[in-house]
């Protein structure tokens, strides 16, 4: 009679042990989930900021980060963001316009120098007059330094600047060539043309005319 009772007690003990193990497993899983939630939760760090624009941007990103959705801005915050974007646009625009204005002035001076360089009688004069050749070289160098100092973020500005510098360098090398191995007080910059690039028609014709003049004098 005692044997069946012992069997039932053992079964009950086994069932209790299984229930305890299941409870432990569930408790561990819940702890893991809580740890994951804590790890994924964004930490809010308060930073003292005097700039109101930065405060609005920080609040906007903090709100949208928690729910994963873009929060609608208040009218004041939206107006402030629009003002900041528009001011940045005006700053970039004014910088480009200022550089284009300086380039236009430099192009007018380059046109004058190009006209003198293309003048046959003036080229003959600078070929025999050292003082006039020096003055003309100084004009080219001054304009070259002015154009080289221009800075602009726009691609059109950089392209125009490079084209003008290339033309001025070519004219300076023809008017006042430097002997090989001699370093002048002004370090002349060299800008390599990209593969397949072509020289402008004015520059090519001017160089050809100078070559013909040298051949005639020789």
- The predicted pLDDT at position 71 comes to 61
Residue 165: partners with Cβ closer than 8 Å, 6 or more residues away = 144, 147, 148, 189, 191
Contacts 24+ apart (CB under 8 A), 134-142: 134/176, 136/175, 137/172, 137/175, 137/176, 139/113, 140/113, 140/168, 140/171, 140/172, 140/175, 141/172, 141/186
Q: Which residues lie closer than 8 Å to 40 by C-beta, 6 or more apart? A: none
Q: What angle do CA 194, 201, 120 make, to 5 degrees?
A: 130
CB 119 within 8 A of CB 213: no
Please provide the average confidence, as pLDDT, over all residues in the chain. 71
State the pLDDT at residue 54: 65
The model's confidence at residue 48, banded by pLDDT at 50, 70 and 90, is low
- pLDDT given for residue 198 in this prediction: 47
The yes-or-no verdict on residue 167 having pLDDT over 70 is yes
Q: How confident is the model at residue 73 (pLDDT cuts 50, 70, 90)?
A: confident
Residue pair 215/127 in contact (Cβ under 8 Å)? The answer is: no
In the predicted model, is pLDDT for residue 79 greater than 60? yes
Q: Return the higher-pLDDT residue of 199 and 122.
A: 122
Give the residue-averaged pLDDT of 128-140: 89
Residues 45 and 102: their CA atoms lie apart, in Å, by 47
Query: Strand, helix or coil at 75?
Result: helix
Neighbours of 175 (CB within 10 A): 20
The per-residue pLDDT for 72 is 72
For the chain, count helices (H), then strands (E).
Answer: 7, 0
Name which residue leads in pLDDT, 110 or 7: 110
Q: CA-to-CA distance for 5 and 11, rounded, in angstroms?
A: 10
> Is the pTM higher than 0.85?
no
pLDDT digits (tens, 9 = 90+) for 15-26: 777 777 777 777
- Domain regions of the chain by residue span: 103-217
Averaged pLDDT, 29-40: 67
pLDDT at 37: 65
Which is more confidently placed, 110 or 82?
A: 110
Question: Residues 176-205: what's their mean pLDDT?
Answer: 50
CA 97 to chain centre: 18
Of the pLDDT bands very low, low, confident and very high (cuts 50, 70, 90), residue 195 is very low
């Amino acid at each position: 009679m005692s044997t069946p009772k012992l069997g039932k007690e053992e079964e009950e003990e086994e069932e209790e042990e299984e229930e305890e193990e299941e409870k432990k497993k569930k408790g561990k899983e819940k702890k893991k989930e809580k740890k994951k939630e804590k790890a994924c939760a964004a930490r809010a760090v308060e930073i003292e900021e005097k700039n109101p624009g930065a405060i609005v941007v920080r609040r906007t990103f903090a709100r949208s980060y928690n729910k994963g959705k873009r929060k609608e801005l208040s009218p004041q915050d939206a107006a402030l963001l629009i003002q900041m974007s528009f001011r940045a646009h005006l700053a970039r625009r004014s910088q480009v316009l200022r550089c284009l204005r300086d380039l236009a002035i430099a192009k007018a001076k380059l046109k004058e120098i190009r006209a003198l360089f293309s003048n046959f009688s003036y080229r003959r004069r600078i070929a025999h007059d050292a003082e006039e050749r020096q003055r003309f070289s100084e004009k080219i160098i001054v304009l070259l330094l002015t154009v080289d100092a221009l800075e602009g973020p726009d691609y059109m500005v950089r392209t125009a600047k490079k084209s003008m510098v290339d033309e001025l360098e070519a004219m300076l090398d023809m008017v006042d060539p430097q002997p090989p191995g001699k370093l002048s007080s002004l370090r002349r910059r060299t800008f390599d043309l990209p593969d397949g690039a072509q020289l402008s028609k004015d520059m090519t014709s001017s160089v050809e005319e100078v070559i013909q003049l040298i051949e005639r004098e020789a």
